[in-house]
Amino acid sequence: MKNTDLLKQYGQEHLLRFYDELSEDEQKSLIEQINQADFTLLDALQHKDQNKATDDKGGSLAPLGALEIDEIKKNRAEYEEKGLEAIRAGKVAALLLGGGQGTRLGFDGPKGSYNLGVTRDFYIFQAQINNMLDVCKQAGCYFPLIIMTSDKNDVETRRFLKEKNYFGYPEEKIRFFRQDMAPSVDFNGKIYLEGKAQLSLSPNGNGGWFKSLVKSGLDKELAESGVEFINVFSMDNVLQRICDPVFIGATLLSGCNCGAKVVAKNAPGEKVGALCLKDGLPTIVEYYEMGDELAAEKDENGKLKYRFGVILNYLFSLKRMYEIVDGKMPLHIVEKKIPYIDEKGVLIKPETPNGYKFEYLATDTVRDMLSCLSFEVEREREFAPIKNKEGIDSVVSARELLAKNGIIC
């Protein structure tokens, strides 16, 4: 069998441990998974440094500053008009990063199908689509909505949205594509088996979105229809404005290749990435990479120096995305709890992290864009992330923030 050499080279022969017990179909499926798996990811483990991406070589850090709320208010009409014009001309599409597993929420289904409601049904997908419909109403047209899923939730995501009639968004404007998967390994770099004929694979992080979009061929459909900018956004934030004309207009007028919505951090240690300049390029430094001292540094006005945190809502130039698509992205190696089968074939669900997953992050794309407009939004009106069931960034906190914005659910 030709891939035994590959398995040997990477020390992964154990993946065939149960091979002889498998049916012919299962054997085929296992070999197919091995052929498809990207073993080169494992090389990254050799220069792994916890909490740092594989290419992180430090660099000089400076604040980037932002187009702040007061400034935006002054020019709002101009930005809005420019943004609406771009939407009406079909130059903007929205892309929802829906490939995550939402493990912190602990919900057994696509995160978007989680029902937030207490007094009525109100799903995360519904919140996002309602936000988009507001803009469509204002613009008088619909923009393309592209939804990234993963092998783990694709079927269920499509089924759910269809059953709910896409919450009123026109079906012909919606497209789906699947993101790539990456193997999960133990602390010694051995790929886990999830079943006797099943490698442990998980979505490869939200940063692979453009490569996977190109693989699906959907990028061509967008480019041919005249799309020039893609508003990439996360599933978590149920208050965010998507394809916000003011944000789009300001980014276009700035001439930057990218725009990023940011909020002023509520504390130095808040768990959001800070948009900074690193060696002169726009760069997002994750909260766990920054260190407490730097995060607490103040500027001459007594404000936090690195006070603008990203909320995973970006506008990316399609032209620039094509220029960088073949480039190598930094790889993040993250400790996670990974279910696996042991040598006897018994399924183990660990209570503490037992290995690594490999992830690319959308935040890393910002640096490759070379220029980025940092665009401040009011956190009370646009930032209600759902990561957990309760506590900070949770279903409960999001419900309260929705209510403050007149959305009772």
- Residue selected from 41, 42, 84, 100 as contacting ligand UTP according to rule CB under 6 A: 100
- Residue selected from 63, 102, 268, 309 as contacting ligand UTP according to rule CB under 6 A: 102
Give the pairing of strands 92-97 and 229-234: parallel
Q: How many CB atoms lie within 10 A of CB 387?
A: 18
Q: Residue 295: what residue type?
A: A
Q: Is 273 in the site for ligand UTP (CB under 6 A)?
A: no
Q: How many CB atoms lie within 10 A of CB 339?
A: 14
Two tokens, residue 388: 């957990």
| Residue 26 Cβ vs ligand UTP, minimum distance, rounded to whole Å | 26
Coil vs helix vs strand at 105:
coil
Closest to ligand UTP by CB, 125 vs 169, is: 125
- Residue selected from 92, 146, 230, 235 as contacting ligand UTP according to rule CB under 6 A: 235
Q: Is 251 in the site for ligand UTP (CB under 6 A)?
A: no
| Residue 404 Cβ vs ligand UTP, minimum distance, rounded to whole Å | 23
| Residue 59 Cβ vs ligand UTP, minimum distance, rounded to whole Å | 24
Q: Is 284 in the site for ligand UTP (CB under 6 A)?
A: no
Q: Which of residues 104-123 bind ligand UTP (CB under 6 A)?
A: 104, 111
Q: Is 216 in the site for ligand UTP (CB under 6 A)?
A: no
- Residue selected from 97, 129, 242, 372 as contacting ligand UTP according to rule CB under 6 A: 97
Instruction: Outline where DSSP puts E strands in 265-317.
Output: 274-278, 281-285, 308-317
Instruction: Please check whether residue 202 is in contact with residue 101, taking contact to mean a CB–CB distance below 8 angstroms.
Output: yes
Closest to ligand UTP by CB, 179 vs 184, is: 179
The count of residues interacting with ligand UTP (CB under 6 A) is 19
Q: Is 103 in the site for ligand UTP (CB under 6 A)?
A: yes
> Mask of contacts with ligand UTP, 147-166, x by CB under 6 A?
-x------------------
Coil vs helix vs strand at 233:
strand
Q: Is 205 in the site for ligand UTP (CB under 6 A)?
A: yes
Two tokens, residue 73: 């208010």
Q: Is 245 in the site for ligand UTP (CB under 6 A)?
A: no
Q: Is 282 in the site for ligand UTP (CB under 6 A)?
A: no
| Residue 12 Cβ vs ligand UTP, minimum distance, rounded to whole Å | 22
Closest to ligand UTP by CB, 139 vs 394, is: 394
Give the pairing of strands 92-97 and 185-186: unpaired
Q: Is 313 in the site for ligand UTP (CB under 6 A)?
A: no
Q: Is 88 in the site for ligand UTP (CB under 6 A)?
A: no
Instruction: Please check whether residue 130 is in contact with residue 145, taking contact to mean a CB–CB distance below 8 angstroms.
Output: no
| Residue 198 Cβ vs ligand UTP, minimum distance, rounded to whole Å | 18
Coil vs helix vs strand at 83:
helix
| Residue 195 Cβ vs ligand UTP, minimum distance, rounded to whole Å | 21
Measured CA distances, 248 to 60, 129, 351 (Å): 30, 18, 44
Instruction: Please check whether residue 246 is in contact with residue 83, taking contact to mean a CB–CB distance below 8 angstroms.
Output: yes
| Residue 325 Cβ vs ligand UTP, minimum distance, rounded to whole Å | 17
Cα angle at 276 between 274 and 280, to 5 degrees? 160
Burial of 60 (0-12, 13-18, 19+ CB in 10 A): exposed
Distance CA 341, CA 346 (A): 5
Residues in the chain, overall count? 409
Two tokens, residue 79: 């930005």
Which residues have a Cβ under 8 Å from the Cβ of 74 and sit 6 or more positions away? none
Q: Which range, of 5-13, 92-100, 216-224, 369-377, touches ligand UTP by CB under 6 A?
A: 92-100
- Residue selected from 99, 183, 273, 355 as contacting ligand UTP according to rule CB under 6 A: 99
Closest to ligand UTP by CB, 4 vs 103, is: 103
Q: Is 127 in the site for ligand UTP (CB under 6 A)?
A: no
Q: Which residues pair with 232 in a beta bridge?
A: 95, 314
- Residue selected from 54, 184, 231, 234 as contacting ligand UTP according to rule CB under 6 A: 234
Instruction: Please check whether residue 242 is in contact with residue 142, taking contact to mean a CB–CB distance below 8 angstroms.
Output: no
| Residue 4 Cβ vs ligand UTP, minimum distance, rounded to whole Å | 30
Per-residue DSSP letter, 143: -
Two tokens, residue 45: 């483990």
- Residue selected from 80, 154, 219, 236 as contacting ligand UTP according to rule CB under 6 A: 236
Two tokens, residue 386: 């759902």
> Using CB under 6 A as the criterion, which residues of the chain lie in contact with ligand UTP when the complex forms?
97-104, 111, 148, 179, 203-206, 234-236, 387
